[in-house]
Each structure stands twice: as C-alpha cells, then as structure tokens.
Amino acid sequence: MMAKASISPASNNLNTALPVVWCVGGVDCSGGAGVTRDAITLADLSIHACVLTTQLTVQSNSIMLSKESMCASALNQQWQVLFEDTPPRAIKIGAIANDEQALLLSARIQKTSNPRPFVVWDPVLSTSSGGVLSELSESVVDELLNTVDIVTPNIDELTWLTHLPVVDEASLLNAINRLRGKGAKSVYVKGGHAHWQKNVSDIFVCASHTLRFSQPKYANGNLRGTGCMLASAVAAFIVHDYCIEDALTLANAYVSEVRNHTLPKQSAAANANAISSELTAYFARTNGFPTKPESFPLVTFHQRGATANEKERDKDTLLEASSCKEGHFPALTHTHLGIYPVVDSVQWIARLWPTAVKIMQLRVKQGSQEDIRQQIKEAIELVKHTDCQLFINDYWELAIELGAYGVHLGQEDIDTADLNAIRNAGLRLGISTHGFAEIQRVRALNPSYIALGHIFPTNTKDMPSKPQGVARLEKYVQLCDGIPTVAIGGINLSRIGDVAKTGVSGIAVVSAITQAEHPLKAYQALVEEAGFA
Ligand SMILES: Cc1ncc(COP(=O)(O)OP(=O)(O)O)c(N)n1
Ligand SMILES: Cc1ncsc1CCOP(=O)(O)O
Ligand SMILES: [Mg+2]
C-alpha cells in the first residue's frame, strides 16, 4: 500500500453541525476569487467557512483598480474573536498582503496546538487581471513555508517563492526541491501554466513520495478563482478525514467538475445564447462531492528512495508517468463474483471448490519457496476443469510459470512486478487499493478487477490505513466505472448485507470462512445474506 503522509486534522471543540475551516485572504469584490470563492467552495463541500480578511481588492472580472490592506492588528482581532467561538479544523491561506500579516499568521498558527489545524497556503501573488496582491520578503516566506502543512503554488508563484526559473520538467523539480529545502513539508504545484506539458500535470511532493495528477489540457474560459477553489477543496477533504493523497485527488476532480459544469458547452443552445453563456461563465457553479469518473485525474506515484540516486529515480518515474502502460488485462470469465474466499493453503482450496465458488485466492504468507511452488501447482491443478477463477497472491512469476488463471498484487508489488509479462502471459490481474488516489493510479492499468479495502477493522492483516466504511465503498465502486470490484476487510455475516448493497462485484473474506466452525455452511450463509444465491 502507498505510504500515506501522516496528516490528521484537528477536531472542533464546539459541537457545531458542520466542521469549520477558516479562509484567510483577500476579498475580491467581484466574487470571482479570494475568500468569497473559498467560502462558496467550502459550503459546497459541507463545511462552514469563517473569513479572515487580509485586504480588500477593488476588481472586476477584467481589471483590478486598487487594494486596501488590513492592518495586522485588525487581522489579529479577527483571529481572537473567532478562536474561542469557532476554532478551525483547517485553515486555508490565500493572499497575504505584507510581512506583518504573514508573521502574525505564522506566530498564531505555531501557537495553536491541541487540536492543531491543518494549514494549506495557496501563495497568491497576483490577480488574473494582473494586480499584485502579495509583497513578502524572503525570510518571511521561509517562515511561512516552515509553518504550513502544504503549499500550493502555480508555476509563476513557484518562481516567485524560489527565485528560480521554471521552464521545463527538470527546472520544475529543481524548484520544488528548493522549496522543500527551505522547509516546506509538502508541495503541490499546479501545472496549468506549464506550456511544455502535453497534459496538465500537477505534482505533489512530500518527504516520502511524489504523486502526479494529470488531466487533459483544458480552457478555463472566463472562470476565475480555480486556484482558490482547489486549495479550499483540499482543506475541506482533509477535514472530512481523507488522507492528503485522496484529498488532492478529490480536489482536482472537484475543480474539474465545477469547470465542466460552468463553462458554456459547444451546444446549439449555448451558441444561440452566447452572451448570457459568456456572462455566467464568470461565476462558478456549485457542484458538491465529485462523482464523475471522467473528471478524476490520472494519478501516478513514486516512492522516494533513501539513496543518493533519488533525484535520478524521481525523474525516471515522472517520465514513466505520462506513458502509463497501455492495453488491458484479460477480462474475468465471470464478473458476478459473489463470495471470494481468500485462503492460505491448497487444502482450503480443495475444501471449498465443491461449493461452486466462482473465485478464490491462494494467499500463502509462510513456507519455503519449494512448498509455496508446490501449493500453487496443486491448487491450479485442482480447479483446472472447474468454473473457479483462481488468483495467486504475490507470486506472479510462479503464477506465470505454472499457468495460473490470475494474480493478485498490492500497491508496492505493482512498482516491482513485470506487469507486461503478466499481461502477455494472458493472466488476469487484481490489484488492492485503499482510497481515491490509488484507485486512479490503478484504473489506468486496466486490471481485471480492483480490490477496495479494508472496509471494516480486521484482525487478519495489519493495515496502516483506516477502515473505509460502506459509504466510501459505494463511491469507490462508482469511480471504478465498470471495472469489476471486490470489497475486503472485516466482512462477516452481519456486515455483508450492507456491503452487497453498494453494487460491488465480489466480496472477499478470510476469517468469516476460515475461522468458522462449519466453513462450508458459513460460505453458504454469506452467499444468501449477500443476496448472491
Ligand atoms: C481480494 C483481495 N484484496 C486485497 C488483498 C490484499 O492484497 P495485498 O495488498 O497484496 O496484501 P497481502 O494480501 O499480500 O497481504 C488481497 N489479498 N485480496
Ligand atoms: C488480506 C487483506 N487485505 C486487506 S484486508 C485483508 C484481510 C481480510 O481478512 P478478514 O476477512 O478476516 O477481515
Ligand atoms: Mg500481496
């Protein structure tokens, strides 16, 4: 499983109906960007926004006339009055007018502990109409970088923060490294202005890994404030308890859906009514939680090595990211999978196959290579002339050599396994995932099924991630968009009914069968309770 950056949002002291996020930034009197855009985005994602104003900008959709900065003590008062009443679970910072404001904010944030809010800094330098909003000295920028959890510049802002030109992939990575060297815990650079890229490719870098988020090139039309929207959405999804990788994936999909939803379509109706379409295009429509599979970015992932050659390896993976393996793994023979027993010996396969089970997995975690090889061989032999689709966990080379039906791999395995060899040998491939980012990573590989877990707490395996629950499972199934899905983790007779209602294609279980007093009866009861009979 991909290592998740360890970031957890604080919880509110107040028993408010909605979680609270503070937006700190400038008021754009046209409503297109700034804290107005933040508050609308947050409300759209079921968050209450408190607004701490740093400056009033007098601007329309096309021109910025002037700005009036708030003095630091007025900003301080806003902080004080809100803090007792509606403490934030996250803070989204936008345009900071000057050093005084910035130092006040970083001092306040550093003193806020227990619970400590998650802080996103979108370092807005200027308006889309060209007005400069922020003048910060280098030491103050560094202070802020060391205070916040994530900084989200676009390419120009990255240059502003680092004083480094960013003109291609190498200089982009160099500037990100500079930012991290200055103390930024994690950096998310928006690639919208990266003229050298074929697709829009945003990049997230933290201490342990790098993720790329790619979308086809888009036109923003008259839509403003998409950077504010993205950073606010990240704060919102963190507060809704998503890990940072999933929060970024969801925020990216959210902005994409708002854009698609807002910009005029090239339809006859839009053309006939071009003037009003133009006008409405300034004003982002609300969207709610993103759900459309086509608006989610392609995600590629690279674990950062601990060796000197790290830079080179990062580069390799990033290049590889754009060429994400083409082709599909073979489809499953039966896609209504039903109950999917995952067992640790060939004896269990022998015991269960008379049930007419449609899919099983041999997951052997102990024993000599010779013993494992023998078990895989016998298991393949046992199900050879049956309907049962047998997947071999981990041992993809043996699975190919011994002619298995399929292989099941985890997130780390797909970094090292030869996926082309598996596909060329005609084996099916199932892959484990643990959230939105991993699903988007894996969808691009066109596997035979996607496993989703762990849904409930489990004693069978130590899981670094949190249980996902049935509500998220339902969203994951929708995102898999027709690729067969398998739910796994802590699923038993009392939980299986709710799991089956999500529309998942199969339900994998270990202990509910292998620790049952009567495993065959337990299998049958699960089939019936899930409505798979
Ligand atoms: C159906 C199914 N889903 C998930 C897993 C877990 O696989 P993986 O992440 O490779 O972890 P291990 O099983 O190897 O511990 C699975 N085996 N089957
Ligand atoms: C292998 C695995 N991967 C995610 S959860 C899990 C174990 C599931 O076992 P159980 O069904 O006993 O909770
Ligand atoms: Mg495995």
- Distance of CA 430 from the midpoint of ligand 3 (Å): 10
Instruction: Record the tokens describing residue 351, joined without a space.
Output: 């015991």
Q: Rg of the chain's alpha carbons, rounded to an integer? A: 26
**Cβ–Cβ under 8 Å, residues 96 and 102:** yes
- Distance of CA 489 from the midpoint of ligand 1 (Å): 10
Work out which ligand 2 atom sits closest to the CA atom of 511: 12
Question: What distance in Å separates the CA atoms of residue 18 and residue 132, rounded to the nearest whole number?
Answer: 34
For ligand 2, say whether the CB of 491 is within 6 Å of any of its atoms.
Answer: yes
Instruction: Note the pLDDT of residue 128.
Output: 67
One-letter amino acid for residue 275 of the chain:
I
Mean pLDDT of 464-470: 95
Work out which ligand 2 atom sits closest to the CA atom of 488: 5
**Cβ–Cβ under 8 Å, residues 211 and 301:** yes
Q: What is the ipTM of this complex?
A: 0.99
Work out which ligand 2 atom sits closest to the CA atom of 456: 13
As annotated, the residues of the chain forming the CATH 3.40.1190.20 domain(s) are: 20-322
Between CA 128 and CA 136, with CA 131 as vertex, the angle to 5 degrees is: 110
Instruction: Note the pLDDT of residue 183.
Output: 97
Query: Length of the chain, please?
Result: 533
Question: What distance in Å separates the CA atoms of residue 242 and residue 9, rounded to the nearest whole number?
Answer: 9
Strand partners, 150: 120
Question: What distance in Å separates the CA atoms of residue 512 and residue 492, rounded to the nearest whole number?
Answer: 5
**pLDDT tens-digit readout, 231-245:** 999 999 999 999 999
**Cβ–Cβ under 8 Å, residues 133 and 127:** yes
Q: Quick check: 195 pLDDT over 90?
A: no
Q: Which CATH number fits domain 338-530: 3.30.450.60, 3.40.50.300, 2.30.33.40, 3.20.20.70?
A: 3.20.20.70
SS (H, E, C) 98-132: CHHHHHHHHHHHHHCCCCCCEEEECCCCECCCCCE
**Cβ–Cβ under 8 Å, residues 133 and 104:** no
DSSP letter string, 197-256: -SSEEEEEE-SSEEEEEEE-----TT---HHHHHHHHHHHHHHTT--HHHHHHHHHHHHH
Instruction: Note the pLDDT of residue 10.
Output: 46
Q: Which residue of 2, 362, 363 sits with most ligand 1 atoms within 8 Å of its CB, as the best mutation to test the pocket?
A: 363
Task: Report the candidate in 230, 227, 260 with the shortest Cα–Cα distance to residue 248.
Answer: 230
**pLDDT tens-digit readout, 174-190:** 999 999 999 999 999 99
Instruction: Record the tokens describing residue 122, joined without a space.
Output: 């979108």
- Distance of CA 176 from the midpoint of ligand 3 (Å): 33
As annotated, the residues of the chain forming the CATH 3.20.20.70 domain(s) are: 338-530
Work out which ligand 1 atom sits closest to the CA atom of 340: 1
Mean pLDDT of 225-229: 93
Mean pLDDT of 129-140: 81
Q: Flag whether the pTM goes above 0.95.
A: no
Question: What distance in Å separates the CA atoms of residue 113 and residue 116, rounded to the nearest whole number?
Answer: 4
Q: What is the mean pLDDT of the chain?
A: 89
- Distance of CA 476 from the midpoint of ligand 3 (Å): 20
Q: Which CATH class is domain 20-322?
A: alpha beta
Q: Which residue of 339, 348, 452, 458 sits with most ligand 2 atoms within 8 Å of its CB, as the best mutation to test the pocket?
A: 458
Task: Report the candidate in 211, 191, 209 with the shortest Cα–Cα distance to residue 201.
Answer: 191
